[in-house]
Chain A
Amino acid sequence: MALHFEILGRFNRARAAQLTLPHFVCQTPLFMPVGTQGTIKGLTNNELERIGCQIILGNTYHLALRPTSELLEEAGGLHNFMNWPRAMLTDSGGFQMVSLLHLADITEEGVTFQSPVDGKPMLLTPEESIQIQNRIGADIIMALDDVVRTTITGPRIEEAMYRTLRWIDRCIAAHKRPHDQNLFGIVQGGLDPELRDICVKGLVERNLPGYAIGGLAGGEDKDSFWRVVAQCTAALPEDKPRYVMGVGYPLDIVVCSALGADMYDCVYPTRTARFGTALVPEGVLKLKHRAMADDTRPIDPTCPCMVCKNYTRAYIHCLVTKDAMGSQLLSYHNLYYMMRLSRNLHSSIVEGRFPEFVRDFLRTMFPKGDVPEWVCNAMEVAGIDISSCCAPFPPCQENDSSNELEQLNKVKIEI
């Protein structure tokens, strides 16, 4: 084990901790920006450090293609290659099984991908994935899991869960650097509580440095989503970090933190920036909208970042989707927002004011009191009283939660 996890504060299930990794000492809850190909799109390392980024994510599948793990090993690892001084986590390539399914063929041996670069087949086994990750050298490496979309049903989910458990042993056996790289197991099992339970127990038996909750953030309804997270965080060991993969929206991060998760990653903040959308306490701000053309306010008056301190919505509006600089400035702001959220989660728990923080957050995002039902239910399990955030009549709005985009639209600012 190459990490140290010390809990500094709690509120019910929520925890704030110090996670000491080989390259950096981190504060959790934390959000990890995704730098798939060895860079966070459009931002330099010193900008990432300045906004408080602690861990970044690299992707095994993409890096193995270009520039190849052998080259990264020769360069002394990805840290050295990209000159990132802080912590790093690599995904195993498992998610590409889902995102690039049309290019993938999954068997007990591993996943065969058709390379998008040259069309040749590329077999990713648990052994190969770990080997590649050993060469890349990140502080945290992920086991290769058999990932299925939560929107599918049937025996495939059970098959994937058991295979994930068989693969974790192969990953552990293949891992050559347990003293400076932490192998996290990933809980699968779809939306089935029994399957999830079996998987958690199986992984915990292996006594890994940390655990991830995988297979979510793929379009499942929010009600199922939070229940899986709640079940897993209740069953996973207290003294080890819990990473909910692919999350995500600020609201989701707040809920999952209340339920006892510590780490998150998602392309959302940077990707949505490239489409001209800014993250703000009220939800999102679409800078492309015509009304922004003469709005001389900053994106977020409460945000102290370089972008909000210097630029108006009107100026960013004329840049977005047309000039690279627009993407860069919005990505900077959005990541700053996520780092600020992480810091606020950590400090509010440590300082004993987590419920107030949650209530403030929800009131700002749902000024009409229309907090989605799934959030109300999750907060009840988390033991946080948010009745003051919800409109008195009707109590909490019925929200069928099947369409995340629709939900997001509800929180758009009135302009």
Chain B
Amino acid sequence: MKFAVKKALSSGGARVGVLEVGSCPAPIETPALLLATRKGLPHFISPDLLPSLPSPDSNLLQVSPLHFLEGLSTTTISKIGGLHQMLGLQQHGIAAVPRDSIQCLPESKAATKLGASFETPCGRLLIKPKDYVEMISCMQPNIWASLADEVPAWVSEKRNKTSVDRTLRWLDDCISLYPAAGSIFGAIVGGTNLEERKRCAEEVAKRNVSGYWIGGFGLGEGIDERPALLRAVIDILPDEKPRLTCGLGLPEEILQGIAAGIDLFDSTYIYSLTVGGFALTFSLDNSREQHSLQSDQIGSDLTKINLRATAYRKDMSPILENCTCYTCKNHTKAYINHLLNVHEMLAQILLEIHNTHHFLRFFHVIRTAIRDGSFEEFRQAFLESRREHFKGEAIST
């Protein structure tokens, strides 16, 4: 894995970088999105449909090794030849992270000094560094995060401090157990405590890692607490290594993370939208035209539409007129509305394709804005536009 910063706005702020990983056909520009997966493949998009997504933007996947505990042994994965071979995704970059914010959630109460705990579909699992490293060595991802003890925002100071101690110890275990690893990203935790965050960051920065996985977010901290925590961590980290976070899924949160200097994001946003029957429609340019058209739709705001709404029963237009995704080029809102109505799985496939495509374009637009030096303006305009429908309602009531 190789990473280089191409343009930075200011020290510790938003930056554009380039990531070369595995056999990806082309270098990937950051800030970038790692697509969420279930057992290595997208939740709904069949692997033969992946090439229709923007490339190489869509070539980064996040995989949780814990998913495979439900029926696939590490020996078998090894025999097959690792994740890339098993998934038929030899040209994709895979980052292995135990936490998957949909189904493998960190359970801080059950973690011990021996390992981290996760609530999974197989029940509550205690994952020890040795077992984790074994999974990683069989799976051979391009990037992997060290094992972390993530705690929610409301734990005691003592518990929080313990989580930092454990996370650092487990990082050292991971490094010593698998020195010839794919690129290890050192996990940084510390909850909502600035001092602990700094301590953790300082310690991790001393280790020989290829990048940083900044965890402990999306676990109950307030969105306004985050900038300070992110800054505290990032100020300490060297510029030239990539930073990956977990749990910052919404567009606002991603902008927040980018502003602080994060390069790589996972997100459950696309999945949540898709299973809810929502399609992203927020504007990717500065035009406000489409907003006024949708402000009267039930169950939607200016950023997404709810395709279950009866308003779309006869709407023979695509989700977004100028979207080039497979769904918008081939299908109408009326068809997707029908599919949702009759509980057909094609609905989720088509929605995940569109939402992924749109979200990847969002990242693309952000990168352009950073390069142009207009990131802060873009960010402010974006945040304001997402609140416009509230203003509209306030005036009418």
Contacts and interface: CB of A to CB of B under 8 A. Distances in A.
A156 interface: no
B348 A324 contact: yes
Contacts, number: 122
B341 A67 contact: yes
Given A310-B88, A315-B80, A325 B338 contact: no
Contact of B346 (A43, A50, A62, A325): A43
Best-surrounded residue of B313, B334, B338 (most CB of chain A within 10 A): B338
A389 B65 CA distance: 48
B378 interface: no
B385 to A, nearest CB: 32
A62 B341 CA distance: 12
A329 B86 contact: no
A81 B334 contact: yes
Nearest to B121: A322
Nearest to A76: B316
A284 interface: no
A314 interface: yes
B368 interface: no
Contact of B338 (A38, A45, A312): A38
B48 A47 contact: yes
A296 B76 contact: yes
Given A44-B346, A318-B68, A324 B75 contact: no
A44 B313 contact: no
A41 B86 CA distance: 25
A344 interface: no
Interface stretch (B36-44, B203-211, B230-238): B36-44
Contacts of A332: 46, 48
Contact of A47 (B38, B46, B332, B338): B46
A235 interface: no
B6 interface: no
B250 interface: no
Nearest to B52: A46
B288 interface: no
A319 B39 contact: yes
A329 B344 contact: no
B79 A294 contact: yes
A44 B345 contact: no
Interface string B64-82: 0000101111011001100
B71 A325 contact: no
A413 to B, nearest CB: 19
A205 B71 CA distance: 60
A66 B338 contact: yes
Contact of B86 (A45, A71, A315): A315
Nearest to B71: A318
B339 A39 contact: yes
Contacts of A74: 314
A83 interface: yes
B276 interface: no
B344 A37 contact: yes
Interface string B11-34: 000000000000000000000000
Contacts of A329: 46
Interface string A33-67: 00001110111111100100000000000100011
Interface residues on A, range: 35 or more
A325 B313 contact: no
A311 interface: yes
Q: Interface residue tally of chain B, by bracket? A: 35 or more
Contacts of A194: none
B335 interface: yes
A314 B76 contact: yes
A208 interface: no
Contacts of A309: 88
B110 interface: no
B254 to A, nearest CB: 26
B1 interface: no
A90 B68 CA distance: 42
Contacts of A327: 345
B313 A42 contact: no
Contacts of A328: 44, 46, 345, 349
B88 A323 contact: no
Interface string B324-348: 0010001110110111011011101
Contact of A325 (B44, B73, B316, B334): B44
Interface in A118-171: none
Contacts of B346: 39, 41-44
Nearest to A325: B41
Contacts of A296: 76, 79-80
B49 interface: yes
A328 B352 CA distance: 14
Contact of A293 (B47, B73, B342, B348): B73
Contacts of A319: 39
B335 A81 contact: yes
A317 interface: yes
B43 A324 contact: yes
B38 A325 contact: yes
Interface string B294-332: 000000000000000000011010000000001000111
Contacts of A408: none
Contacts of A1: none
A306 interface: yes
Nearest to A332: B46
Interface string B275-290: 0000000000000000
Given A315-B72, A332-B46, 4 more contacts: A43-B346, A67-B337, A81-B332, A314-B72
14 contacts: A37-B339, A37-B344, A38-B342, A41-B346, A75-B314, A81-B338, A309-B88, A310-B88, A311-B86, A311-B88, A315-B80, A323-B43, A324-B44, A328-B46
Interface of A: 37-39, 41-47, 50, 62, 66-67, 71, 74-75, 81-83, 293-294, 296, 306, 309-312, 314-315, 317-319, 322-325, 327-329, 332
3 nearest A-B residue pairs (beta carbon): A310-B88, A318-B71, A318-B72
